[in-house]
């Protein structure tokens, strides 16, 4: 694509959980860096100390790692152009803000918040353009010095051109132009010694050698301001690209009410990291054909900026679940084993009392129908624990009059089956059906399944009987008979 090494960054301001929009931004940057053997950088933008939340940062880092979006440089691992946490770079920002003052591109502003409030009220009342009115823009150097020496509180503002327009090129949207009079005299440095988001963001992108800035489209209005800053410093801006907005499936803003929005919630729902990555990759990008299921390597190989579409896209949770189901059924059982094991442990199922070979068989019979990890608990808990209740609907249907006697007969068949295999069990059930004058074994299969699993769904009964083993099946049948006795 270019001869320069690609350097991209994910630059979150940790104020809350990592939501799917942020995760998509991180993913696109990561895919782009991996595709071109570039560097993916994590930079923590924590200059707004009132909104910064340490726990949110910890959770966000955990989520990014869970998704497998490992960075090459970042606050925890360092790198050549660190520190990667903005609160550790305050001197740098001050130096650059002062440099702009020296160049006549920025100025000290001593306006108090009371004056600014009054100004805003007046502008509103008189229907004037909103924004700083430039009172301090033309203070003489002597006046400025005097006020600085008197210890007056100040901010540093950018001298935005008053006329003309500022234009920047967005990689997927083309030229975007703003009238300079719409751009405020941006605050670069606040009176509390911290830079504004804009100054820190631009200075860092420059000093960190960022070649492409890929971020959400809510940042479009900030970009002309950044362009003015780049021009004022005399720096070449990076390539800008604003990703399309993600809407809820039925339209409208994505919100908690319309489904989960944070990565943690999807993780807790049992969505696999690979599914989430695959799903998010298609929010605003496509591989050029109808392929939907792609693993990490394929995504890296196919990803291209040219296929990112600026049009809004919809977050369809149903599709996410479908995709997750596809991942389960197509994944090798060994790869699912650690996640399923952990989920079973979290559900307090005694997985340790059984070996991994058993777990492998259990996963094998469930994975075809599972859509998320919690389905494994729902469909798999009876492999580890005797049912302590029976599904009410199934009881009505399958534990009818005569069910007790029927289970007693099944018990005796099981007891007398020497060769405890699927084939001989099938044969024995068929024989019992014949003896009872049933057309087929279905009338025996359903009550038996309910007695040994507590539910009416699952793998083929003979497979289940073997998997659970003879001893367990006998114990559960006896329990079922007992239950039916107590019912009458």
C-beta closer to ligand GLU: residue 219 or 354: 219
- Which residues are tagged catalytic? 256
According to CB under 6 A, which one of 219, 233, 322, 354 is a site residue for ligand GLU?
A: 219
Contact 448, 414 (CB under 8 A): no
Q: Which is nearer to ligand GLU, 13 or 160 (CB)?
A: 13
Total Cβ atoms within 10 A of residue 476: 21
**Distances in whole angstroms, Cα of residue 478 to Cα of each of 333, 448, 451, 455:** 33, 11, 9, 17
Task: Tell me which residues in 386-445 interact with ligand GLU (CB under 6 A).
Answer: none
Per CB under 6 A, the list member of 201, 262, 281, 453 interacting with ligand GLU is: 201
Residue pair 474/415 in contact by the 8 Å Cβ criterion: yes
Interface positions, 30-89, toward ligand GLU (CB under 6 A): 45
Taken in order 250, 255, 259, 262, is the CA torsion positive or negative? positive
Q: Interacting stretch for ligand GLU, rule CB under 6 A, among 10-18, 245-253, 400-408, 444-452? A: 10-18
| 227 Cβ contact partners less than 8 Å away, ≥ 6 residues apart | 166, 167, 168, 237
- Segment near ligand GLU (CB under 6 A), from 11-19, 144-152, 262-270, 463-471? 11-19
Q: Which stretch binds ligand GLU (CB under 6 A): 9-17, 148-156, 383-391, 415-423?
A: 9-17
386 to 65, 396, 450, 468: CA distances (angstroms): 37, 20, 11, 10
> What count of Cα atoms within 13 Å lies in the side-chain half-sphere of residue 348?
0
196 binds ligand GLU (CB under 6 A): no
Minimum CB distance to ligand GLU smaller for 136 or for 210: 210
Under the criterion CB under 6 A, does residue 215 sit at the interface with ligand GLU?
Answer: yes
Q: Does 7 bind ligand GLU (CB under 6 A)?
A: no
The nearest distance, CB 198 to ligand GLU, in angstroms, is 9
Residue 7 contacts by C-beta under 8 Å, 6 or more apart in sequence?
Answer: 33, 38, 39, 41, 208, 209, 210, 211, 212
- What the block records as the tokens of 271 is 């969505």
Least CB distance from residue 51 to ligand GLU, whole Å?
10
Q: Which of 7, 8, 13, 308 binds ligand GLU (CB under 6 A)?
A: 13
Residue number with CB closer to ligand GLU (45 or 375) = 45
Place of tokens 């068949």: 413
Residue numbers at the binding site for ligand GLU (CB under 6 A): 11-13, 45, 201, 215, 219
């Amino acid at each position: 694509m270019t001869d320069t090494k690609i350097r991209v960054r994910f630059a979150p301001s940790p104020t809350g959980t990592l939501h799917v929009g942020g995760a998509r931004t991180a993913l696109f940057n990561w895919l782009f860096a991996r595709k071109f053997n570039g560097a993916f950088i994590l930079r923590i933008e924590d200059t707004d100390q009132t909104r910064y939340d340490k726990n949110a940062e910890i959770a966000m880092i955990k989520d990014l790692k869970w998704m497998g979006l490992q960075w090459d440089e970042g606050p925890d691992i360092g790198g050549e152009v660190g520190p990667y946490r903005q609160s550790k770079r305050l001197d740098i920002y001050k130096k650059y803000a002062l440099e702009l003052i020296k160049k006549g591109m920025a100025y000290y502003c001593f306006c108090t918040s009371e004056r600014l409030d009054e100004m805003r009220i007046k502008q509103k009342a008189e229907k004037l353009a909103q924004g700083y009115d430039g009172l301090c823009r033309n203070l003489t150097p002597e006046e400025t010095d005097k006020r600085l020496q008197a210890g007056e509180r100040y901010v540093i503002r950018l001298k935005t051109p008053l006329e003309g327009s500022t234009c920047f090129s967005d990689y997927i949207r083309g030229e975007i132009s703003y009238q300079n009079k719409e751009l405020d005299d941006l605050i670069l440095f606040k009176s509390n010694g911290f830079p504004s988001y804009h100054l820190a963001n631009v200075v860092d992108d420059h000093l960190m050698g960022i070649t492409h800035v890929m971020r959400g489209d809510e940042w479009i209005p900030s970009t002309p301001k950044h362009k003015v800053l780049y021009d004022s410093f005399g720096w070449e801006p990076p390539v800008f690209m604003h990703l399309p907005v993600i809407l809820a499936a039925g339209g409208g803003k994505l919100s908690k009410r319309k489904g989960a929005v944070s990565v943690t919630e999807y993780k807790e729902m049992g969505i696999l990291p690979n599914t989430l990555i695959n799903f998010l990759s298609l929010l605003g990008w496509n591989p050029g054909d109808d392929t939907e299921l792609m693993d990490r390597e394929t995504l890296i190989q196919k990803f291209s900026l040219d296929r990112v579409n600026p049009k809004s896209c919809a977050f369809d949770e149903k599709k996410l679940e479908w995709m997750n189901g596809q991942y389960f059924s197509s994944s090798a059982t060994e790869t699912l084993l650690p996640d399923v094991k952990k989920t079973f442990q979290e559900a307090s199922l005694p997985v340790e009392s059984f070996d991994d070979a058993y777990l492998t068989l259990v996963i094998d019979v469930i994975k075809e129908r599972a859509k998320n990890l919690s389905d494994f608990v729902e469909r798999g808990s009876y492999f580890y624990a005797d049912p302590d209740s029976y599904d009410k609907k199934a009881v009505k249907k399958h534990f009818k009059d005569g069910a007790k006697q029927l289970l007693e007969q099944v018990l005796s068949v099981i007891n007398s089956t020497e060769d405890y295999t699927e084939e001989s069990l099938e044969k024995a059930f068929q024989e019992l059906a014949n003896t009872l004058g049933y057309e087929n074994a279905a009338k025996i299969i359903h009550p038996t399944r309910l007695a040994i699993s507590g539910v009416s769904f699952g793998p083929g009964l003979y497979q289940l009987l073997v998997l659970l083993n003879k001893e367990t099946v006998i114990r559960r049948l006896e329990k079922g008979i007992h239950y039916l006795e107590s019912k009458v």
